Amino acid sequence: MWNAVSFSRGLFGLRANPDYLSQVLKDLSLWDKRNNRIVTLSGGMKRRLMIAKALAHEPSILFLDEPTAGVDVELRKDMWEILRGLRAKGVTIILTTHYIEEAENLADRVCVINRGEILLVEEKTELMSKLGKKQMRLHLHDKLSEIPGTLSNYPLTLDADGRELVFTYDSQSEHAGIKALLDDLSASGVAFTDLSTNKSSLEEIFVDLVRR
Amino acid sequence: MSFNYRAIGAIFLFELSRSRRTLLQRLFSPVISTALYIIVFGAAVGSHIGDISGVQYGAYIVPGLVMLILLTQSVDHASFAIYFPRFTGTIYEILSAPVSYIELVIGYVGFAACKAVVLGLLILATAALFVPLRIAHPVWMLAFLALTAIAFSLLGFIIGLWADGFEKLQAIPTLVITPLTFLGGTFYSTSLLPPAWETVTRFNPIFYLISGLRWSFFEVADVGVGVSLSMTLLFLVLCLAVVWWMFKTGYRLKA
């Protein structure tokens, strides 16, 4: 394995640097296996070795094609840490993935490709606030069978057998109408015991985009 | 980009570590087979054969045996060295790295040729234990060894690029090179053959290599040393041209 990593570095015309290569192997938890032959490594180790080979020549741009596909959860989290570390050092990482969670976790910018066409390229936070929806859930004190007519102007749905009222709003608009809704609720005599909000994940946005 | 000599070094080191794994088998099998040839042909059979052109038969076959090992090892190592990365897919790392084709060829062919020359010298040392040897022109001997090793490592490289399976990889050395070496005068002077067959031998490129190397030992040869050298160089240039064409067209590399 050590030979393979040194070989990759040498091919790019770089001076031998055992300290750097040791650090790369240690970061990728491959140090113990440095003298093993590649055929003796497990699938996950081989994958990490590929990353080690890619890092051996200190690249400033790193292309990773589904690096965590078929990798166990723990290892995936480790790899994310490594990628964050590289990003912090200024390495530009272009990563393709089918796990939207991964993109949400790591990416600064997201590009969505569907059937070979780029649907969008956007800063992740911007994308999520622009295309994401927010929902507010009100846990009602008394069960409702239908939404009162006085609230018909709001995009409301009933959930959990009439025990929850769900308000979907656009997180972009400054005036989402939460206050007006809460006022109208108390005016209509609808009382609630609990309140929670959540916003859609990148995965939901992705599915939405691709289905369009 | 400037000449990437570190890449050549990396290829050399990688090939060296690959060879080290099979070092014993690689070193001992040629040495043992040479010792056997010399004992069987040189001592046992040779005692019933008179001297050829004033050279004792046991010594006469040594240049041919060195050539046999040199050719098979050059072709074997170089063909496998480039075929294996193609087979496993690691060739793409090499092709995507900033390594020119010239550097690539120097790395792979250079290592195979060096290794073959070292083995050839080892065979020579082994032979010296059994038969009295004198080398009339040591510099010419080294030159013939080096040129032949480079030419046949190039041939091996071509085979390694061309082969699309292990059978093909093995076929050329077994079906072409070994027979041509035996028929090229490893164990005999072609002047002992009937005239018709002697003419046929002239079309065997390996005949010129063996003859040239034998001249550097004993100043005895079937053809003039100038002819031997020219044919060796011609073969070298031919192989270089084929390699150049393969890289230029991306043959079997960028399919």
In chain A, the residue whose alpha carbon lies closest to the alpha carbon of B18 is A3
pLDDT recorded at residue A174? 56
Number of neighbours of residue B240 by Cβ within 10 angstroms:
15
Chosen from A7, A17, A35, A65 to mutate, greatest number of chain B CBs within 10 A: A7
With CA atoms as reference, the chain A residue closest to B107 would be A11
Distance CA B232, CA B35 (A): 27
Q: Give the C-alpha separation, B61 to B38, whole Å.
A: 8
Residue B91 structure tokens: 């060739």
Region B119-134: what's the mean pLDDT? 88
What lies within 8 Å, CB to CB, of B165 at 6+ separation is none
Mean pLDDT of A80-105: 86
CA closest to B95 among chain A residues: A11
Chain B residue with minimum CA distance to A35: B17
Q: What is the mean pLDDT of residues A144-149?
A: 79
Distance (Å) from the alpha carbon of B150 to chain A's nearest alpha carbon:
22
Contact flag A12-B98 (C-beta cutoff 8 Å): yes
Average pLDDT of chain A to the nearest whole number: 83
For residue B118, give both structure tokens: 């070292």
- pLDDT score of B156: 94
- Give the pLDDT confidence of B61-106 residue by residue, as tens digits: 888 889 988 999 999 999 999 998 888 888 888 888 888 889 999 9
Check pLDDT > 80 for residue B249: yes
For A4, the closest chain B residue by CA position comes to: B14
Residue A206 has pLDDT above 80, yes or no: no
Minimum distance, in Å, between the CA of residue A63 and any CA atom of chain B: 13
Contact status, residue B61 vs residue B42, Cβ threshold 8 Å: yes
Q: Cα A163–A166–A169 angle (5° rounding)?
A: 170
Shortest alpha-carbon distance between residue B204 and chain A (Å)? 39
The predicted structure's pLDDT at residue B255: 59
Helices and strands (H and E) in chain B: how many: 12, 0
Residue pair B231/B208 in contact (Cβ under 8 Å)? The answer is: yes
Q: Which of B64, B9, B2, B24 is nearest to B210 (CA)?
A: B64
Closest CA in chain A for residue B11: A7
Q: How close A93 comes to chain B (CA, Å)?
A: 18
Find, among B11, B126, B138, the residue nearest to B62 by Cα: B126
Closest Cα to residue A41, out of A86, A82, A1, A90? A1
What SS3 state is found at B189?
coil
* Of A13, A93, A106, the residue nearest A61 (C-alpha): A93
The mean per-residue pLDDT over the stretch A167-186 comes to 74
For residue A135, what is the enclosing H or E element?
A: strand A133-140
Residue B35 reports pLDDT greater than 60: yes
What is the spatial distance between Cα B72 and Cα B66, in angstroms, rounded to a whole number?
A: 10
Q: Do B7 and A11 touch (CB under 8 A)?
A: yes
> Is the pTM for the entire model greater than 0.90?
no
CA pair distance B150, B233, nearest whole angstrom: 10
Q: How far is A6 from chain B (nearest CA, A)?
A: 7
Q: Give the per-residue pLDDT at B107.
A: 93
| ipTM of model | 0.76
The strand pairing partners of B193, in sequence order, are: none
Distance of residue B129 Cα from the nearest chain A Cα, in angstroms: 37
Q: How far apart are CA A50 and CA A32, in angstroms?
A: 16
Asked whether A39 and A31 are in contact (CB, 8 A), the reply is no
List the single residue in A6, A11, A53 with the smallest CB-CB distance to B99.
A11
Chain B hits for A14, Cβ within 8 Å: 6
Mean pLDDT within B184-201: 84
Is A176 in a helix, a strand, or coil? coil
Contacts of residue B200, defined as CB under 8 A and 6 or more positions apart, other chains included, come to none
Identify the residue among B17, B101, B102, B106 best suited for mutation to test binding to A, counting A beta carbons within 10 A and taking the highest: B17
Answer yes or no: is pLDDT of A175 > 70: no
The letter for the amino acid at B19 is S
Which pLDDT band, with edges at 50, 70 and 90, does A156 fall under? confident
* Cross-chain CB nearest to A6 (options B10, B93, B97): B10
Q: Which amino acid is at A148?
A: P
Confidence of residue A171 (pLDDT cuts 50, 70, 90): low
pLDDT at A106 over 70: yes
How close A54 comes to chain B (CA, Å)?
A: 9
Q: Are A7 and A55 in contact (CB under 8 A)?
A: no
Mutation test of the interface with chain A: which of B12, B13, B104, choosing the one with the most A Cβ atoms within 10 A? B13
Q: How many C-beta atoms surround the C-beta of residue B137 within 10 A?
A: 15
pLDDT in tens, B129-174: 888 888 899 999 999 999 999 999 999 999 999 988 888 888 888 8
Cβ contact A11–B94 (<8 Å): yes
pLDDT band at B187 (very low <50, low <70, confident <90, very high): confident
What confidence tier does A172 reach under pLDDT thresholds 50, 70, 90? low
Give pLDDT tens digits for A10-67: 998 888 899 999 988 988 888 898 888 888 888 778 888 888 998 898 889 999 888 8
- Chain B interface with A: residues with Cβ < 8 Å: 1, 4-7, 9-11, 13-14, 17, 93-94, 97-99
Q: Which residues of A touch B17 (CB under 8 A)?
A: 3
